[in-house]
Every structure is written in C-alpha cells, then in structure tokens.
Amino acid sequence: MKTNVLISGGGIGGLTLGLKLAQCNIDVTVVERLPGPSSVYKGELLQPKSLEIFDSLGVSDSVFKNGHIISDLELIELKSAKSEAENSTMSYSILPSRYPYSLMIHHETLKEILREKGEEYPSFHYQSNTVCKKIDGHTVIIEDRETKEAQEIHSDFIIGAEGRSSVTRDYMEVDVKEKKYNHHFLTVTFPRPKEMVKGRIISTYQSFLGLFPLPNDEVRSVYLIPAGEYKTLRKKPISEFHKLYIQMCPDLDGYVNQIEDWKKIQLMVPQKYHADTYVKDHLALIGDAVHTVHPMAGEGMNMAIQDGSILGELLCDMYSAGKLDPANLEWYPKVRKRRVAHQMHLSHLSALVYSYPYRPVGWLRNKSLQRMERDSISHYKQMLNISGLGMWRETLYDRMVQGGVLPIRKDSLTEEEKSNTKFTEIQDYPWKGKEGLL
Ligand SMILES: Cc1cc2nc3c(=O)[nH]c(=O)nc-3n(C[C@H](O)[C@H](O)[C@H](O)COP(=O)(O)OP(=O)(O)OC[C@H]3O[C@@H](n4cnc5c(N)ncnc54)[C@H](O)[C@@H]3O)c2cc1C
C-alpha cells in the first residue's frame, strides 16, 4: 500500500495534522493503536491559538457545541484550608483574538470531532486498532492488533505522533532526557455546581487544587500530592479524598462525594523533556513524541495542535508546489522549537511556584500573582504566552515589578500594541516569504 504521508498515532496532534493534509487533498494515513476511545484523562483545555486553528480547519462549530468557555482563571490563595481567601484573576479577555478565552472539552470528544471531519475527505484514511511496529526507510510495517496481520505501507513522509513512547523517535535515534518532579497529581472529573463556570486554582502553602469546568455541569479537577503518596492515600476510604477537596473548596460538598471509588481517580505523573531533533530526512516528530510539558499551564495538547498545524501548512505548500525535498521540513522546527521551549519554561516555572510546601513560597506566590494581575504588562504577557497567540518574553524588570521592587504599570496596552505582539503570518509560515521552498 502507498500513501503520501503516514502519521503514526491518532492522538490530538496526529489528527490535527491528518485533517489539515486531507483538506489539501494529500493522501494521508493515520494509524492508531487503540481500538476506540480511551478512558485515560489527557489534556482538555484549548487555548485561543488552538481555537483559531480549529476555526481554520472548519471544526469550530462542533468544538464550541461540545465545549465550555473559560474567560477567567481565579487564583485563590487560602492562608490555610477553611480560612479567608486572597484572590487574583487572570483574564483571557485582554487578548487580541476573535477567541479571547479558553475552552474545556472532553479529550475523546475532540478526537472524535477531528476524525469525523477528516473522514469527510476521500484522501483521509484512519486505521484503528493498528500499531506501527517498525520503520525501514520509507516503509512502515503496521500490524492489526486483532488478526496480527502485518502490512507494509510505503510513504513519502513519516510523522511520529505516538505520544511519550514513540517508535518513530526511536528509529530516528533521537534521545530525550526526562525531568521528573517532586509531586504527582490526582485527576478526576465529576459533577459541579452550575454556578462554577470559571477556572479556579485554589492553593494553600501546602496544597493545590485546580478546577476546570467542562460542559454538562461537570468539572475536571487536578489535586497535587507529593510523589509516592498515592499508594498510601488509596488505602484510605474514599471519603478522605472527598474531605481533601471540600476543605479547599466547600462548594464541592455534595458533588465530589459522588465519586464512589478510588478507581475513578487517575494518577498523573508530570514530566518534561524536549528533544533536540524534530526532523531527520523524511521523518518528523510532533506533540508529546518530541516534547512533554508539565501540565500546570495546560499546554501539552495545545503544543501538539500547534505542531500539527504548522507542519500541516508546510506539507500542504510542499505538495501544492511539487517541492518535496525533505530538507524543506526543517522549516517546521525553525518555527516551533523556540516557541515550545518558551512555553515549557513557563509551565516549569508555574510548577515550581506551586510545588514547594513552605509558607514563604506561598506568601511570595500570592504577592506576585496579585501584582501580576494589576500590572498591565505582566498580566498581558502571561496570558499572551499561554494562549499560543504570540510570544513576549518576561524581563528582569517584569519580575521586579511582580516582586514588589518596582512600581506597577497601570496603563493598558493599545489595541495596536497588542496586535504587534501576535505572531504574524510570516512568523508562522516563514517559507512563504522570500527564501521559499527548495
Ligand atoms: C496520562 C496523561 C495525562 C495528561 N493530562 C493532561 C492534562 O490534564 N492537561 C494537559 O494540558 N495535558 C495533559 N496531558 C498532556 C496532553 O494530553 C498531551 O500533551 C497531548 O495529548 C499530546 O498529544 P499527542 O497527539 O502528541 O499524543 P497522545 O495524546 O499521547 O496521542 C498519541 C497516540 O498515538 C497512539 N500510539 C502510540 N504508539 C503508537 C504506535 N506505535 N502505533 C500506532 N499508534 C500509536 C496512542 O495510542 C495515542 O492515541 C496528559 C498526558 C498524559 C499522557
């Protein structure tokens, strides 16, 4: 069998890329190991840039129909559980986008939307319950997991989108160095009060609870625990878990209690790595296969979508111009690598800020967050950088403002100043400029 582009892995990254290519009439085969939806929790928060990408792919109606919009993130610092709270709010509404908000959607629903849209195009082929076993040059050996029948697929380009454990990455001999953290997360979705519509991060100096409303009056939660504590916790009755949540957020009484069993609660082990190499000859890596990020800033899935979108546009242009020299693939890391590194850095910092259980750390965090909210430049930079719409690095000056050494800047940015901070078309797709494709 022959195809133009073979994508190994039908997660969010692989499906975004597959859909984009199918829309350019490129013959694309997405091979997915799983037979159907997975029960494993993964990323569910879509940042504004991802919403813009899905708009361009013609799936935004379905995404909005199945999603819950989050305009603001409330950051609530309790001196101790049950005490008076100190709040700050970070808002997406200041962003220069037609989507100045984020959106929560069930991971598997989003995959289904992308796959179903892809299947509207005759050049889109999706093979589930099939695993990519081996790569040899331009040939990929796939195996049906039920019949054990193997098949060879010959492909111009091979894209590794298999997530953290990647056959393509191994074939490319690309190493990643994993960084582990001193904490893990418990994560679970359960019913929420109707009025709970904003994202909430509730912390004391010792604990952290993230609450992200989903549609149908559900909420996805993440609760930070010290690494290794999961086994001890699981030995306790489930009511102990309910108590942890209710102490941090009394509104959840009557809701979190509906979780009847530890089996519903998933352990999430954060890690981070960023491979040096994204592309080798006719092979490329996207999403978690090439970078994994701490989930604190909700970036993992968005980074996979943004990879898929940039690489997709590049391959579309290569095919439409008939310029299939694999050296053209190098444009993809040129665009993505710096952006990914910056978002990983921000996520890592957020993780550090919440993961040391000492009073002075909690105090400093609270003070900086409150100043970040009030300092127009810091607030804007933070939201811009997590949104994926642009990149504006923080400076020492910003940190000194946040730390209280320098005064807060109250003047808001003009619309023109904001627009100048967004990625331009030529920054997203530099090969469309003078240098062009080979
Ligand atoms: C357990 C877990 C929990 C997470 N929770 C969060 C979260 O709460 N918030 C957040 O922002 N991010 C979270 N993330 C990160 C986020 O979900 C990922 O960054 C995002 O899903 C990456 O998308 P991807 O398409 O690159 O990879 P994946 O979503 O991992 O998809 C890869 C796909 O490839 C398939 N595959 C693997 N090997 C093969 C093969 N050899 N042949 C065929 N198919 C193959 C897999 O079955 C899978 O469907 C989580 C990740 C994990 C692993």
- Ligand 1 atom nearest the C-alpha of 130 is 43
Q: Which residues are near ligand 1 (CB < 6 Å)? A: 8-14, 31-34, 40-43, 45, 131-132, 161-163, 167, 187, 268, 287-288, 295, 298-301, 304
- Mutation to probe ligand 1, out of 31, 169, 293, 301 (largest number of atoms < 8 A from CB): 301
Place of tokens 């082990």: 269
Ordered DSSP codes for 107-123:
HHHHHHHHHHHHTTSTT
Sign of the C-alpha dihedral computed for residues 282, 288, 290 and 296 taken in this order: positive
Q: Are 399 and 405 in contact (CB under 8 A)?
A: no
**pLDDT tens-digit map of 276-334:** 999 999 999 999 999 999 999 999 999 999 999 999 999 999 999 999 999 999 999 99
Closest to 383 in 3D by CA, of 37, 79, 95: 95
Q: Are 87 and 74 in contact (CB under 8 A)?
A: yes
Residue 161 CA to ligand 1 center (angstroms) comes to 9
| pLDDT confidence of residue 205 | 85
- Ligand 1 atom nearest the C-alpha of 266 is 1
| pLDDT confidence of residue 358 | 83
The torsion of the CA quartet 184, 189, 194, 198, rounded to 10 degrees, works out to 40
Ordered DSSP codes for 358-417:
-HHHHHHHHHHHHHHHHSHHHHHHHHHHHHTSB-----HHHHHHHHTSSPPP-PPPPHHH
- Ligand 1 atom nearest the C-alpha of 166 is 38
Domains and CATH numbers, the chain: 2-66+106-179+273-344 (3.50.50.60), 69-103+182-269 (3.30.9.10), 358-425 (no CATH)
Q: How many CB atoms lie within 10 A of CB 315?
A: 26
Whether residue 128 is predicted with pLDDT greater than 60 in this model: the reply is yes
Residue 162 CA to ligand 1 center (angstroms) comes to 7
- Ligand 1 atom nearest the C-alpha of 133 is 41
> What tokens does 191 get?
């019913």
**pLDDT tens-digit map of 40-69:** 999 999 999 999 999 999 999 999 999 999
Q: Are 163 and 33 in contact (CB under 8 A)?
A: no
Chain-wide mean pLDDT for the chain?
96
Q: Are 13 and 288 in contact (CB under 8 A)?
A: yes
- Ligand 1 atom nearest the C-alpha of 13 is 25
| pLDDT confidence of residue 364 | 86
- Ligand 1 atom nearest the C-alpha of 307 is 26
Whether residue 394 is predicted with pLDDT greater than 60 in this model: the reply is yes
Ligand 1 atom 4: the closest Cα is on which residue?
A: 42
Whether residue 434 is predicted with pLDDT greater than 90 in this model: the reply is no
* Phi–psi pair at 368, nearest 5 degrees: -65, -40
Residue 397 CA to ligand 1 center (angstroms) comes to 37
Residues 6+ apart with CB under 8 A from 10: 18, 30, 31, 32, 34, 111, 115, 126, 128, 161
Residue 163 CA to ligand 1 center (angstroms) comes to 5
Confidence of residue 79 (pLDDT cuts 50, 70, 90): confident
| pLDDT confidence of residue 395 | 97
Q: Are 10 and 36 in contact (CB under 8 A)?
A: no
Ligand 1 atom 3: the closest Cα is on which residue?
A: 42
Whether residue 33 is predicted with pLDDT greater than 80 in this model: the reply is yes
Residue 11 CA to ligand 1 center (angstroms) comes to 6
Ordered DSSP codes for 34-46:
SSS---S----EE
Least confidently predicted of 22-31, 87-96, 340-349, 355-364: 355-364
Whether residue 82 is predicted with pLDDT greater than 60 in this model: the reply is no
Residue 359 CA to ligand 1 center (angstroms) comes to 35
Whether residue 85 is predicted with pLDDT greater than 80 in this model: the reply is no
Whether residue 80 is predicted with pLDDT greater than 70 in this model: the reply is no
Triad 158, 159, 161: Cα angle to 5°: 145
| pLDDT confidence of residue 322 | 97
**pLDDT tens-digit map of 226-246:** 999 999 999 999 999 999 999
Whole-number Å distance between alpha carbons of 28 and 377: 43
Ligand 1 atom 20: the closest Cα is on which residue?
A: 301
Residue 355 CA to ligand 1 center (angstroms) comes to 24
